[in-house]
A and B are shown apart, each in its own frame.
Chain A
């Protein structure tokens, strides 16, 4: 999706944006990463229009904002699904078979790592270690953590999310 397209589809609440930039983060360029995180928390991704506005407001060239937004893996420039599946691919989960769990999710939802299902129901993201190694393999859906899951339990878990 191009920047222009995103800008059209998303209604940006500029007073809220102002509040984030000024009140929460003091209009401080050093807080750029945290401001982007706050924007993503609000919109579930980084809408182009919000970034345009941020650029003028805080005085950082748009190119540098995009540089940061594409460098760090938590940022998404595209809308994400209603439910975010984070599959832990940390080392402990890896040796306990996380890859097989991931395959199962991919097969079920027909989405690869970083992709969103067509119906916007799920986005699949892999993360490296959420520090619940004793529960590996671990899958987090939104804020719910599922531990010690076997590949054949995946379907049942996904079914719970609309």
Chain B
């Protein structure tokens, strides 16, 4: 069937809405994004399918990632008139039991994360809550009240974890493609751009450029224009784009379609990084389905508008996330950035006017078009509107993807949503913006999430990676880590970036090795400011940020490395050793058993000690000791 109108969409929506929200039998949704699969979701899914192969009575289905990675594999079970229950840590050995207990109406609190109050997306205002008449189960917490979820607002991730990413019908059931058909059939291109401008949407890929202005500029330039989606997601520690592509690929296609109508283009490209094979697979399925329904291809819905999307994969180069490098790579060339005297909106891919946006940016577009610019602009701060997805990772209790309204404080994200630092360790810093970003110390945690505010403290919003660090993280080592990363990834064509990174890495490495000299900190600052001023592209100009912010806020750690030859966090191997505190040691023998070097000795129930000659500082004893008796000296 080729879709011609919003009415056609509504028909599909009615049919599949029932299957989605109120299935006759039991519906089991296994969270099957890459992260879930790595945690064991595939094995659990296969096991369940083996037990219920025919789909009658019990249907085993897949969804994307709902964001709570720490609790994976996550499985959701629902049935018409019954509660909708989310189970956590459902591995292959548990899934059949879990399904049977749901069937029997028995609810084991330990297996359950919560029961859902309302599965509707932000777009489904007119739809009645399918759980309105369902009696909740006594003693089981409400899923949405979990501190991890209660302050989240899902716009870009509205469907992730709620629909089968391989089903266009389920996307349509949650008001998918309505915004696109409205835009195509009832709006002038300029009107669409006005809505995006008024919404205040800014690029989610890192730069934060106002999306509406970019579209308007691109539309002004004549020629065969290209609509490109940046799914290169290079920031090591950010994976929201992957999650959206794996959990809700149609939202990105729809966002690109709307951009194509607004700007006037029939050619779309998605540049996906090589490490995301599942995202590519789901995108290809999504494109095929959209073509089958006539939502992609020639003369869409009987109009003279045509749009085709091609998927290209990267090959492991961080710099290809940069706009000009990405476009070169799309042409099959090496990804070397060029100076932007002429912007890519005028001459980009194949020298044609090109509009590049990030995955999350596009995923926001259909929601803005449907709910209106003022709804979106009603969330956030003066200069930062809407919501932003962050990947909350590192030394944090609730690792996961969280989508929060702009303006929320970092403290709320790290402590309320993230649950703080595990194992009673002390919070040290949160790193935002990846290799181009900075480390924010405890004293700025009340800062609101806002493009300007984060820049003022030397960090950036970036693509949304948020890495939490604790007392065991050495800030000099973190700076060295990012510089090492960037040195590998620098394309090498401009001198400031190529040589600057090499020099910074040399200095940082010698500081970490205990050979730092007086004046090294100042030298780092000098090299850093040179790179900021003179590098060719954003990689080089932002590369010093992790170094400069750690110097700014953690200068004492640098000084301890250089002057006292100490690494207070116990990371830089030449600058510390482990000792066992005889007062705290209970002689439990845990470290004795785990030490790969047999460097630990001591009798049972008596204090142990470490032979410094044999010790390789692998840290296993430090990690396994339950009594904090192994100390860093």
Which positions in A face B, CB cutoff 8 Å? 28-34, 36-37, 64, 67-68, 71-75, 89-92, 94-97, 100, 103-104, 127-136, 138, 145, 147, 150-152
For this complex, 23 residue pairs linking A to B, each with C-beta atoms less than 8 Å apart, are A33-B313, A33-B315, A33-B329, A34-B313, A37-B274, A71-B491, A72-B335, A73-B316, A91-B237, A91-B481, A92-B467, A100-B618, A127-B275, A128-B318, A129-B235, A131-B233, A131-B239, A131-B276, A133-B399, A134-B399, A135-B35, A151-B618, A151-B620
**Assuming the A-B contacts A32-B332, A132-B35, are A92 and B317 also in contact, with contact meaning beta carbons closer than 8 angstroms in the complex?**
no
* Contacting residues, chain B, for A136 (C-beta < 8 A): 393
CA distance A131 to B317 in the complex (A): 16
Closest to A60 in B: B332
A37 nearest CB across to chain B (Å):
7
Closest to B399 in A: A134
B72 touches A134 (CB 8 A): yes
* In contact, B38 and A138 (Cβ under 8 angstroms): yes
How many Å from the CB of B357 to the closest CB on chain A?
Answer: 20
Given the complex, which residues of B lie within 8 Å of A34, measured CB to CB?
A: 312-313
Contact partners of A131 in chain B: CB under 8 A: 34-35, 233, 239, 242-243, 275-276
Contact A36 B315 (CB under 8 A): yes
Interface of A is mostly: helix
B400 close to A134 (CB less than 8 A): yes
Closest to B243 in A: A131
Q: Say whether B236 contacts A90, CB under 8 Å.
A: yes
Contacts of B394 in A (CB 8 A): 91-92, 95-96, 133
**Contact B236–A91 (Cβ < 8 Å):** yes
Q: Which of B38, B335, B431 contacts A147 (CB 8 A)?
A: B38
Number of contacts between A and B (CB, 8 Å)?
141
Q: Please, which residues of chain B bring their CB within 8 A of the CB of A100?
A: 618-619
* Contact between chains at B34 and A37 (CB < 8 Å): no
> Given the known A-B contacts A29-B332, A33-B332, are A94 and B38 also in contact in the complex, defined by CB atoms under 8 Å?
no
Contact in complex: A150, B465 (CB < 8 Å): no
Tell whether B424 is near chain A: CB-to-CB under 8 Å: no
B314-329 at interface with A (beta carbon < 8 Å): 314-318, 329
Residue of B nearest to A129 (CB): B236
* B236-254 CB contacts (< 8 Å) to partner A: 236-239, 242-243
Asked if B70 contacts A134 (CB within 8 A), the reply is yes
Determine how close the nearest CB of chain A comes to the CB of B33; give it in whole angstroms. Answer: 9
Q: Are B275 and A103 in contact (CB under 8 A)?
A: no
Question: Are A72's CB and B478's CB within 8 A?
Answer: no
The 5 closest A-B pairs by CB, nearest first: A131-B239, A72-B315, A134-B69, A134-B399, A90-B236
Which A residue sits closest to B595, measured CB to CB? A152
* A contact residues around B393 at 8 Å (CB): 91-92, 133-134, 136
Report the minimal beta-carbon distance from A84 to chain B, rounded to whole angstroms: 13
